[in-house]
Amino acid sequence: MSAAEFLETRGKPHEARRVAEAEAESAVGRVPENLRQFWMQYGVGYYANRNYWLCTPALFESFFRQILTNVPELNADDLAAFGYSSLGTVNLWHRTGRHFTFSLDVALLMDLTSRSRTDPPSHDLDEIYRAAGVDMPQNAVELFLEARSAPEDIWTILLAATSTDSYKAIYDDSGKALTPQLRRSLGEPSHDEIYFRDRATGGNTADHYQKLKISEAVSRMPDEIYYSFAVEVGGQQQIISRTILTGNVR
């Protein structure tokens, strides 16, 4: 997907803040150039009824440099935040073209690209082709493996992240749509606020959330985070989870 196609589908960001030249310049080589140009032309603002906000790496820069200090084989300077949800999930772009997320409420770093690139071929590939009305080619598995190794597309990621419908489909522990409840009880979030869940309570219902400034939310990070990534073992995907001690972010 191109920046122009994203713009045609989602439009310009709402309540956009102009990105200063120095701020945009600091992201050179850290995010795709067409995203940087998008910032400079249209600024950063919200989509999906204030449930998703574009940002530049500067918003979370010092936080991730500290919180990800001890993550093995990962240099925090290679990661750049480019957007975040109202529930505190931050999208991160790795300069090599990989996609990570960090969930502020549960301190979880996920390497999403590792999941897509180790996903085994479906056992019912023939049914998938048949449903599409296409005969399955003899090299279907090879085509699948080639496709899963394709570079990440930041505009496809943003298209999914800015879908209004996706936030309507987030439910709490009681099966009720979560974001409408949070709007009623806490009000709309601004560009520097998120709905933050109190981990100590354990539950995931609206009464366990507060509306916090991002600066306050990141100051509440624990002394350890969780790092989840996928590897391929014997042709099958295996999810690895590690607990990582953080730097001092207080």
Evaluate whether residue 207 is within a structural domain: no
Range of the domain at 17: 3-118+147-177+224-245
Number of domains in the chain: 1
pLDDT of residue 250: 45
Structural domain contains residue 137: no
Q: For the segment 135-179, what is each residue's pLDDT rounded down to a tens digit? A: 666 665 565 556 667 778 999 999 999 999 999 889 999 899 999
Shortest CA distance to 115 belongs to which of 100, 96, 97?
Answer: 100
Q: Is residue 216 part of a domain?
A: no
Beta bridge partners of 94: 79, 98
- Confidence band for 246, pLDDT divided at 50, 70 and 90: confident
Neighbours of 60 (CB within 10 A): 22
Separation CA 51–CA 59 (nearest Å): 17
**pLDDT tens-digit readout, 202-241:** 778 888 999 999 999 998 888 889 999 998 888 788 999 9
pLDDT tens by residue, 67-78: 988 888 888 889
pTM: 0.86
Tell me the pLDDT of the chain averaged across its residues.
Answer: 87
Which range has highest mean pLDDT (16-25, 78-87, 231-240)?
78-87
- Asked whether residue 42 is assigned to any structural domain, the reply reads yes
Is 105 among the domain residues?
Answer: yes
3-state secondary structure the chain: CCHHHHHHHHCCCEEEECCCHHHHHCCCCCCCHHHHHHHHHHCEEEECCCCEEECCHHHCHHHHHHHCCCCCCCCHHHEEEEEEECCCEEEEEECCCEEEEEECCCCEEEEHHHHHHHCCCCCCHHHHHHHCCCCCCCCHHHHHHHHHCCCCCHHHHHHHHCCHHHHHCCECCCCCEHHHHHHHHHCCCCCCEEEEECHHHCCCCHHHEEEEEHHHHHHCCCCEEEEEEEEEECCEEEEEEEEEECCCCC
Q: 114 in a domain, yes or no?
A: yes
* 113-128 pLDDT, tens digit each: 998 888 766 666 566 6
The answer to whether position 156 is within a domain reads yes
Identify the pLDDT of residue 121.
Answer: 64
| 140 lies in some domain | no
pLDDT digits (tens, 9 = 90+) for 35-55: 999 999 999 999 999 999 999
